[in-house]
Amino acid sequence: MSKPRVAFLFPGQGSQHVGMGKDFYDHIPFAREIYDEANEVLGWDIARLSFEGPKDELTLTCNTQPAIMVHSHIAQTLLREEGIEPVMALGHSLGEYSALLAAGALDFRTALLLVKGRGKHMHEAVPQGGGAMAALLGMERDAVEAVCQEVEGVVEVANYNAPGQLVISGEREAVESVVALGADRGVRKSVMLPVGAPFHSSLLTEAGERMGEVLDSVEFLDPGIPVYTNVTGKPIRNGEEARQMLKKQVRAAVLWEDSVRAAGQEDVDAFVEVGPGKVLTGLNKRISRGTPIFNVEDRASLEKAVSGMAEIA
């Protein structure tokens, strides 16, 4: 019996929630070891913040990013202990660091320090409240891009997440103007996102430059499996290419739909969202409807994923 070909999907900012990771921490010694190591590397108690909040503090970019990556790393390690090995990995924005960690291009400490720096630079890029992001449901790519061109100020498409599900990013007033215009142009629903900065927009150019200096200071190994990058939607297979894509990623749009479609062409039997929440699970049901998807964020969902994978095999 052959093992199913599985793609691991790693979530990004916006998937965080108070309590994430606690079930693993309370019942699995390895999880406690990882949180202890993360506390040491970061210099603050990421376990307490993840488990207890407060929500506003957890949502801060500089806190959210390492918290999500730590949770995802524990989940993917536990999946592998159950014999579920990915043949490729994809990460949504921040999740690309988790994907490269899972692929062996980075070790845990290095990845955590990179994410700590990324969160810091992105958090400091724009004054708190000066930038915003919003999800628009029901409009296609060309229509959203056109509306962004109509309003004054900086606003751009940041995430091409799924058919009819895009995210815009930029100056708060410009984002709100697009949301208002969209209501008359066919947007079925719009949601302002709980993020601390206008990610993947030109407002983060300086943050991207600072992050580039950090990325140049560490070693990247060649990933052991293909990692589909946000910037191009295509797989990368060597460490230097991974470094260059991460440099561009801070201000470039996330081509998530393109990435998932490209991965799906490689005879994937199942996708697994590895980390907090089910954001990517929801998107995948709109992109790759015929392929099963599971999520793993605690022991119950891990058990369900392992059982589901056994049925596919």
93 catalytic residue (yes or no): yes
71 catalytic residue (yes or no): no
Q: Which entry of 200, 201, 259, 288 is annotated as an active-site residue?
A: 200
- E-only strand ranges, the chain: 6-10, 86-91, 131-137, 155-162, 165-171, 189-192, 227-228, 235-236, 270-274, 293-296
Say how many CA atoms lie within 13 Å of 297 toward its Cβ: 22
Cβ atoms of 2 and 313 closer than 8 Å: yes
Q: Which entry of 93, 177, 190, 288 is annotated as an active-site residue?
A: 93
Distance of CA 91 to the CA centre of its chain: 5
Q: Which residue's structure tokens are 């470094």?
A: 243
Cβ atoms of 272 and 295 closer than 8 Å: yes
Cis peptide bond N-terminal to 86, omega within 30: no
Backbone angles phi, psi at 39, to 5 degrees: -60, -40
Sign of the dihedral through C-alpha 273, 300, 115, 55: positive
Q: Which are the catalytic amino acids?
A: 93, 200
